[in-house]
Structure formats: C-alpha cells, structure tokens
C-alpha cells in the first residue's frame, strides 16, 4: 500500500508530545513491512528540516502557492516531505505556539489553507514524489480540514483520522470560516463543522474522514461519554461504528535499556546491576541528596491533563517519607512556576528540569524507581510503556491508555505497576504508599521489574489493526463515506 500521513509532529525533529514519537514509529513500522509511507509535515521553526548528512533533498513548488516542498528519504520506502514557506518556516516556535508558549493566533487559518492546498494540488495527481497515495491518514485537529476538502472536491481517496487528544480541537470564529474558502453549507451543527457557535477543525475530521481511530481502546469508549467527550461525544456516538481504539506501540529499538547509547551503563532483565548504577549516576547529575526512599520521576507536558498540579499537591508528603522527585518537561507558565517553587522549597529532594530533552528522558527512565502519571485523562500515554521497559514501575490514574497498559501489582497476578482510582488526591497518595511498600521489599520488586521489562510494547502486533483498517478502506474504495 502507498499511504500519506499528514501530521504536525515528527520525532526527533518536531516534537511537542507523544504524537511526534507515534508519527515516526508508526511510519517506520509500516515501511519496514514493505508499505510505502510519505509523511507530509509543515515545517515549524527556522532550523527545520535538518540538512542531515546523506539525506536526499529535492525542491519543488506547487501552483501559485508560496509553500516550499523538500523531501528527505529516511529509508527506501519512507520519505518525509517538509512543507515550508510563509507562515511556517519563516518564524521561530513550534507547531501550535510561539517560543513563549503563546498559541499562534493564525494557526487555524494556516492549517486550513495547507489542507486546501494539499487537497487541490498535491493529492489528486501523480506528482514529482511519485504516484498518488492509496489513502491519507491524518492526525489531530490541524489536519482535520483535509478529509473535508477531499470530500468536497470528490477525490476518491479514503481518509483516516487519528484522535491523539480530543481536548485540542482547533476552534475558530465565523470570520475565519469566511477566509477558509469553504461553502456556507459546512457551517452547520448537524453534519457540518459548526460547534456551539465556533467552527471546529477536529469536528471536520470527525465528520468527513472515512474511518476514525484513537490511541487506546479505553479512550475510544471514554470519548463517547460527556465526561471525556469534550462536547463531541454526540458526534462520536454517531460514528461509533467507524471508530477504533488502537494502542500506540513504542519504538523498542530506541527505548531499549540493553542498547540505549544515552545511558551511562546498559542493562537488561537478566541483570539489573546496570540500573542501580544508572540510578546513582542520575542522583549525582541531579544533585539530589542521599535518602532511604524511592526516586520517582514525572516526564511530560506540565499541563492539567497530565495532573502536574496533583503531583505538586502531594509532593511534600512524599518528600517527608524520604522520596526524591525529578520532573522533566515544559508547560504552561503557571505550571512551570509552580514546579519551580516546589523545588525551591525542597532543595536536594526535588529537582525540576523545565526543558524538553531526549537525553534526560532516557537517563531518567533508566535511573528512577517509580514513574508518576496522575493524568486526568490520557488517550494513550507512551512514558508508562517506556518506563516499564526500563524496569521503572509506573503509578498511574486508571484511565484511557494507562488503564490498558498498566495492571496493578497488588490486584493482578501479572501486574507491573500501580493504578489509582477514584480520581482523588487521597487515592493517588495512598497508591504511592502502596508502591513504596513494594519497593521496600527487594525480592518482590525485582520480580516486578523483570516482569515489566519482558512485556512487548512494540508496534509489531499493534500495527496490524491499522493495516486491517487500511485494507478495509481500500477494498471499499469508490463507495461514499458512511
Ligand atoms: C497525545 C496524548 C497521549 C498520546 C499521544 C500519542 O499526546 O495526550 O496520551 O500517547 O498523543 O498518541
């Protein structure tokens, strides 16, 4: 099959969250299976795309548009097509926000026009990058208007939309709608993109993509309810037959403690001595003081979704039990401020790194004992999978993909982590205490670590569900969307 992904994040070049890792590792897995994958991605930030050594680069332009296209071949059948030009590569910042974390005011307009140009100029014909794709797979709100354009122009190529996070919807006022060249008939609540007085890019995708997926089976069920549906639960229920939850896999070559070049010492399940060394090295690098308690980590966006505020709330109680904490990530300025204050009040016990760093992420995953994910909701979550592979047992709120990838060691004979619910601070805290008790029982702990490290979180099995959807769509090609 020939598939085109349209996405806004691609590790290691453009990364805000897990979407970056998933775009790259899913494309890699599909291409390794012999499929041809082209990833189209708007370039954000002036340093992108990288002019990496050995990359095959070509330039081209389409129509009258000022966009610049350049391609980099990652492998024989995996090609990245970078789309740059006005509004994208000529400004610093990320795909959704500028360098100060302020959302781009013209984000919807830029992504809307990009979708139109892709649908009008890139997709319909054979172009200089080869024959047109068999199907288009788009990701999250910035690409939500593409299925609408494909439908509107009657292009007979099926589309799949993956929801990585329903909380981000790309809402916009009517005056932007007027600048998006869309016929007025699309501005309606029933079967259109109007959403409580605004337009919604994500809703456009939910209505017009042929198939919908999201990143875990539990989240696929949760988003049909008002508690997790962000107001779109009705639309999603209307399309429930076309919606599938598929767990994200991880890149198990990149996240492998036995070969990870970023670690001071490598280790595997048969010999965890290296992990102890990684722990000592990490404590030293972070300048944490000696203690008799566990070392716990939080890595992720510092946002309400991820429950960073909850960690801030219970952290002093954990520290008073001898815990050491490390937090790695960027976030809202309010959240960054709160974690900075926290570490100032607990020097030596809590270390905060407000940056995004793969190198720190790997060393922390390897050196920590416990990994904290008190997310309010979590479509899938990757870090709890990375951490299990590194023998760092996760403490998670039993929600979404966390529920699907972490079983509780006190409740399940195959458990490799600790789950809390109901969604309260007390239950989070008491679960941390349970985890601490397990950690203080070395034989049991090592057995749990070994079990966690032997779980297969790779894409190899999980990718089959995507291939099944693609094949279904191709076998129905020509039929109109349901
Ligand atoms: C978003 C979600 C996260 C998911 C990732 C990749 O970042 O918040 O749960 O793992 O997308 O699908």
Convert the pLDDT of each residue in 31-61 to its tens digit: 999 999 999 999 877 555 655 544 555 555 5
Q: What is the mean pLDDT of residues 348-356?
A: 96
pLDDT-derived band at 64, boundaries 50, 70, 90: low
Three state DSSP letters for 222-252: HCCCCCCCCCCHHHHHHCHHHEEECCCCECC
Residues with CB under 6 A from ligand 1: 17-19, 22, 164-165, 215, 248, 378-382, 401
Report percent pLDDT > 90 for the chain: 81
Q: What is the mean pLDDT of residues 154-176?
A: 97
Cα angle: 462, vertex 468, 472; to 5 degrees: 160
From ligand 1's centre to the CA of 185, what distance in Å? 33
Residue 192 pLDDT > 50:
yes
pTM: 0.94
Domain segments of the chain: what residues?
2-249+460-476, 273-455
Q: State the pLDDT at residue 71.
A: 80
From ligand 1's centre to the CA of 22, what distance in Å? 8
DSSP lists the bridge partners of residue 394 as 371
In the CATH hierarchy, which top-level class contains the domain 2-249+460-476? alpha beta
Report the alpha-carbon distance of residue 89 to residue 472 in Å, rounded: 37
Residue 49: asked if its preceding bond is cis (omega within 30°), the reply is: yes
From ligand 1's centre to the CA of 111, what distance in Å? 20
Is the domain covering 273-455 a CATH 3.40.50.2000 domain? yes
For β-strands 58-60 and 68-75, DSSP reports them as: antiparallel
Higher-pLDDT residue of 458 and 75 is: 458
From ligand 1's centre to the CA of 52, what distance in Å? 27
From ligand 1's centre to the CA of 87, what distance in Å? 26
Give the residue, by CA position, lying nearest to ligand 1 atom 1.
164
Asked if the domains at 2-249+460-476 and 273-455 fall in one CATH topology, the answer is yes
DSSP H or E segment with residue 111: helix 107-117
What is the per-residue DSSP string for 183-220? -GGG-SSSSSSEETTEEEHHHHHHHHSSEEEES-HHHH
Convert the pLDDT of each residue in 200-246 to its tens digit: 999 999 999 999 999 999 999 999 999 999 999 999 999 999 999 99
Select from 220, 23, 278, 254 the least CA-distant residue to 137.
23
Average of per-residue pLDDT values in the chain? 93
From ligand 1's centre to the CA of 379, what distance in Å? 6
- The ligand 1 atom at the shortest distance from the C-alpha of residue 215 is 12
Residue 265 pLDDT > 60:
yes
Please choose from 381, 387, 404, 405 the residue to mutate so as to test ligand 1's pocket, defined by most ligand atoms within 8 A of CB.
Answer: 381
Higher-pLDDT residue of 121 and 7 is: 7
Q: What is the mean pLDDT of residues 82-90?
A: 76
């Amino acid at each position: 099959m020939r598939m085109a992904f349209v996405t806004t994040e691609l590790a290691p070049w453009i990364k805000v969250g897990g979407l970056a890792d998933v775009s790259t590792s899913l494309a890699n897995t599909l291409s390794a299976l012999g499929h041809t994958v082209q990833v189209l991605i708007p370039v954000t930030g002036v340093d992108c795309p990288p002019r990496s050594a050995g990359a095959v680069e070509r330039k081209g332009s389409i129509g009258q548009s000022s966009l610049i296209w350049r391609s980099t071949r990652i492998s024989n059948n995996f090609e990245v097509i970078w789309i740059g030009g006005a509004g994208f590569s000529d400004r610093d910042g990320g795909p959704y926000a500028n360098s100060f974390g302020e959302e781009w005011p013209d984000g919807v307009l830029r992504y809307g026009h990009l979708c139109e140009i892709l649908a009008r100029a890139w997709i319909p014909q054979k172009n200089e990058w080869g024959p047109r794709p068999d199907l288009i797979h788009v990701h999250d709100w910035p690409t939500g208007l593409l299925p609408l354009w494909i439908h509107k122009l009657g292009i007979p190529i099926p589309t799949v939309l993956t929801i990585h996070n329903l909380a981000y919807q790309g809402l916009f006022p009517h005056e932007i709608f007027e600048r998006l060249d869309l016929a007025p008939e699309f501005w309606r609540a029933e079967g259109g993109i109007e959403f409580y007085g605004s337009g919604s890019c994500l809703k456009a995708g939910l209505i017009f993509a042929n198939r919908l997926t999201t990143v875990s089976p539990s989240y696929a069920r949760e988003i049909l309810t008002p508690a997790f549906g962000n107001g779109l639960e009705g639309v999603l229920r209307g399309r429930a037959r076309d919606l599938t939850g598929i767990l994200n896999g991880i890149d198990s070559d990149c996240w492998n403690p036995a070969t990870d070049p970023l670690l001071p010492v490598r280790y595997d399940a048969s010999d965890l001595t290296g992990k102890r060394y990684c722990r000592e090295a990490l404590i030293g690098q972070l300048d944490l003081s000696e203690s008799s308690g566990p070392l716990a980590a939080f890595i992720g966006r510092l946002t309400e979704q991820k429950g960073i505020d909850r960690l801030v709330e219970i952290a002093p109680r954990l520290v008073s039990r001898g815990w050491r904490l490390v937090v790695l990530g960027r976030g809202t300025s309010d959240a960054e401020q709160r974690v900075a204050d926290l570490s100032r009040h607990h020097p030596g016990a809590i270390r905060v790194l407000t940056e995004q760093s793969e190198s720190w992420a790997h060393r922390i995953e390897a050196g920590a004992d416990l990994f904290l994910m008190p997310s309010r909701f979590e479509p899938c979550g990757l870090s709890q999978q990375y951490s299990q592979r590194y023998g760092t047992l996760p403490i998670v709120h039993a929600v979404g993909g966390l529920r699907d990838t972490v079983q509780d060691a006190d409740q399940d004979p195959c458990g490799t982590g600790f789950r809390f619910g109901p969604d309260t601070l007390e239950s989070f805290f008491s679960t941390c205490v349970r985890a601490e008790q397990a950690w203080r029982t070395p034989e049991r702990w090592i057995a749990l670590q070994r079990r966690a490290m032997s779980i297969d979180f790779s894409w190899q099995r999980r990718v089959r569900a995507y291939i099944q959807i693609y094949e279904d769509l191709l076998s129905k090609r020509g039929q109109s969307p349901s």
